[in-house]
Amino acid sequence: MRKDVRILLVGEPKVGKTSLIMSLVSEEFPDAVPYRAEEITIPADVTPERVPTHIVDYSEAEQTDEQLSSEISKANVICIVYAVNNKKSIEKVTNHWIPLINENTDKDSRVPIILVGNKSDLAEHSSMETILPIMNQYAEIETCVECSAKTLKNISELFYYAQKAVLHPTGPLYSPDDKEMKPACIRALTRVFKISDLGNDGILDDNELNFFQRTCFNAPLEAQALEDVKNVVRKNIMDGVCENGLTLTGFLFLHTLFIQRGRHETTWTVLRRFGYDDDLELHQDYLYPFTLKIPPGCTTELNHNAYLFLQSVFDKHDKDRDCALSPEELKDLFDVFPYLPWGPDVNNTVCTNDQGWITYQGYLSQWTLTTYLDVQRCLEYLGYLGYSIVSEQESQAAAITVTRDKKIDLQKKQTQRSVFRCNVFGDQGSGKTGFLQAFLGRNLTRQAGVNDEHMSYYAISTTYVYGQEKYLLLHEVVPEFDVLSDADLACDIVCLLYDSSNPHSFEYCARIFKSYFMDSKTPCMVIAAKSDLPESRQLYVLSPLEFCRKHKMPPPQSFTCDTADAPCRDIYTKLATVAMHPHMTQATLSGATFWLKAGVGATVFAVLGFAMYRVLLKQR
Ligand code: GDP
Ligand code: MG
């Protein structure tokens, strides 16, 4: 909303402009007034809308045309004053004042105009008959009012309307010609409805209406008021109320009614609460509450509260309760977005079910990935979903945890982080994509069905490290670029992957290791992929095993995704465990007990985690 309002009064001499201002200020009619009142500022706390308001007078006797033009362009709203008993002053409204105002203002951002008929105490009959056709002719006329500086009739109303015309403009909401709300307004209110419909059954029941009322107006509706609202809707349209709740049709009807009755500030309050600006776009401050500076060494994660919210959004849209989002369910979920945020590659980044639909787990993983890679985008998405409103948080930013610098984690030998990044290096054709896809439970046969264009360079899922659920983010680094960026190098663990059936494959791993990771603190793990194929001797000075020994790495881990069922997950648990405990010496790492512990934890808790989710679902 605007920070202040500037009201300008214009009109023919002697219609009573100066008197109107003086009457407002002193609450009595002044017998004698100067040509022109000084500019006055009404402090915020005594105006109905609580914004400082400047009132500016005009006098032909004291001001030049240039001064008038400049005042017109500075004004936020202009009152054209005429005297109801002076026909000439009414004629001048259309043949002088409106054209003059239009000349001095932008075509695209016309200032609202209010027609003010003063001296109503002297009128024998109302001027409205003459004024209404003018109102219909000019869309920029917000409203008209008859008043009297002498009897003080409608004086405070006049200035209230002027203020309202600036703060709660009708223009973006409503088309007077069609007598209906504009498409952008309907779109915005539809999003508001969908977010408020927590049960996603297309009806706002009493609880949801009360929640809505509390978020927008800080007060619940009395039971009787709730009934009254529904009755008004019932009386006026067919399918506005259903199962004693408000449908979208009813909700939109109600707002049309507010606007038509001049109560559009109600609609504006709702829209602003849900993040809209005066152009009915979501406000930058709402979508991007602050520019997060992420210091080097820190990462961004969602906190518990944000996961709870995202879980509720999932449940709301998983209508058949199969713990996966069908294409229709996903489309419905993103209905409150201005564009589709997830492309087909997301299905190859996270876990899906047999039908290829994103599972509950995959859905949370994708959110985790977005938060990790592009936190601003994550805030934007949470904004579309109405996170801060539904979770009653100050802003979307309340969803984010910035982790402490990794250097401190290393010093203290422990970490609170729950997302670990593993960059996967390997020559072309060495099996990197297969390695990423296998983490999502896909064997070679299932991978064969994937369209190459929809392939992803990321794969993210959870794995258990000593019983704690952690996210492991695998990133395939494309070998075509000889120079690696900082992002390619910054990770918690490095995978050097070679094709054990191709004698030329290991050399690339050795080269990458020597050029980038030999002196870094990042742990590295060598993976011998395609272990189902006959092994070839690697044409390199050292065998992979010798190379690992020499550089104090664990021995090469053999891996295959050419399996009948889902590929084995042990390797990912190992990666996450090392990523989480980089301080562990290589000796501990190669010890059998270490892996045993990690492995046991993984299966026990994986089963437990699934069972727990089941129980939670049933309870609801
Ligand atoms: P301005 O030139 O538009 O600023 O008009 P003024 O405020 O100077 O008023 C012109 C004359 O109209 C003065 O004699 C006022 O006393 C008188 N006047 C202003 N408002 C009213 C009103 O509401 N009723 C009546 N009867 N006279 C008014
Ligand atoms: Mg005057």
Mean pLDDT along residues 588-612: 46
Nearest-CA residue for ligand 1 atom 18 is: 16
Q: How many CB atoms lie within 10 A of CB 424?
A: 24
* Cα 21 to ligand 2 centroid, rounded to whole Å: 9
Q: Which atom of ligand 1 is nearest to the CA of 36?
A: 4
**Mean pLDDT for the chain overall:** 90
| Dist CA 17 CA 542 (whole Å) | 95
pLDDT at residue 609 tops 60? no
Contacts 24+ apart (CB under 8 A), 13-18: 13/59, 13/60, 13/61, 14/83, 15/81, 15/82, 15/83, 15/86, 15/89, 15/118, 15/119, 16/81, 16/83, 16/118, 16/119, 16/149, 17/57, 17/58, 17/59, 17/81, 17/118, 18/57, 18/59
Global pTM reads 0.83
pLDDT at residue 37 tops 60? yes
Of the candidates 310, 338, 316, 311, the one whose C-alpha atom is nearest the C-alpha of residue 329 is 316
| Dist CA 220 CA 211 (whole Å) | 7
16 lines ligand 1 (CB under 6 A): yes
Do 158 and 47 meet the contact criterion of CB atoms below 8 Å apart? no
Query: What angle in degrees, to the nearest 10, is found between the helix axes of 248-260 and 264-273?
Result: 130
* Cα 174 to ligand 1 centroid, rounded to whole Å: 35
In this prediction, residue 564 carries a pLDDT of 92
Question: pLDDT class for 452, splitting at 50, 70, 90?
Answer: confident
Tell me: the pLDDT tens digits for 358-368? Answer: 999 999 999 99
pLDDT at residue 228 tops 50? yes
In this prediction, residue 301 carries a pLDDT of 97
368 lines ligand 1 (CB under 6 A): no
Tell me: the pLDDT tens digits for 98-137? Answer: 999 999 988 777 799 999 999 999 988 888 889 989 988 8
Which amino acid belongs to residue 321? R
pLDDT at residue 601 tops 70? no
pLDDT at residue 316 tops 90? yes
36 lines ligand 1 (CB under 6 A): no
pLDDT at residue 616 tops 70? no
pLDDT at residue 512 tops 50? yes
In this prediction, residue 292 carries a pLDDT of 72
456 lines ligand 1 (CB under 6 A): no
18 lines ligand 1 (CB under 6 A): yes
Mean pLDDT along residues 589-608: 47
Dihedral sign computed on CA atoms, order 462, 466, 467, 468: negative
pLDDT at residue 155 tops 50? yes
pLDDT at residue 589 tops 60? no
pLDDT at residue 607 tops 50? no
In this prediction, residue 199 carries a pLDDT of 94
| Dist CA 86 CA 109 (whole Å) | 31
pLDDT at residue 484 tops 90? no
In this prediction, residue 507 carries a pLDDT of 96
Mean pLDDT along residues 566-579: 94
- Give the residue, 571 or 143, on which the prediction is more confident: 571
Tell me: the pLDDT tens digits for 407-444? Answer: 999 888 889 999 999 999 999 999 999 999 999 999 99
Residues 6+ apart with CB under 8 A from 234: 240, 241
Tell me which ligand sits closest to the C-alpha of residue 12: 1
153 lines ligand 1 (CB under 6 A): no
148 lines ligand 1 (CB under 6 A): yes
Structure tokens of 328? 């229709």
Tell me: the pLDDT tens digits for 325-339? Answer: 999 999 999 999 999
Q: Please, what is the end-to-end C-alpha distance for the chain in angstroms?
A: 40
Question: pLDDT class for 351, splitting at 50, 70, 90?
Answer: very high
What percent of the chain clears pLDDT 70, i.e. is strictly above it?
A: 93
Q: Report the range of poorest mean pLDDT among 168-177, 371-380, 381-390, 538-547.
A: 168-177
In this prediction, residue 106 carries a pLDDT of 82
Mean pLDDT along residues 77-86: 97
Question: pLDDT class for 480, splitting at 50, 70, 90?
Answer: low
* Cα 293 to ligand 2 centroid, rounded to whole Å: 55
Instruction: Supply angle C-alpha 535, 538, 542, rounded to 5.
Output: 130
Question: pLDDT class for 488, splitting at 50, 70, 90?
Answer: confident
182 lines ligand 1 (CB under 6 A): no
Q: Which atom of ligand 1 is nearest to the CA of 33?
A: 8
In this prediction, residue 342 carries a pLDDT of 96
What percent of the chain clears pLDDT 90, i.e. is strictly above it?
A: 75
pLDDT at residue 602 tops 50? no
pLDDT at residue 295 tops 50? yes
Of the candidates 471, 461, 491, 485, the one whose C-alpha atom is nearest the C-alpha of residue 582 is 491
Tell me: the pLDDT tens digits for 172-211? Answer: 999 877 889 999 999 999 999 999 999 999 999 999 999 9
pLDDT at residue 517 tops 50? yes
13 lines ligand 1 (CB under 6 A): yes
In this prediction, residue 454 carries a pLDDT of 92
Question: pLDDT class for 449, splitting at 50, 70, 90?
Answer: confident
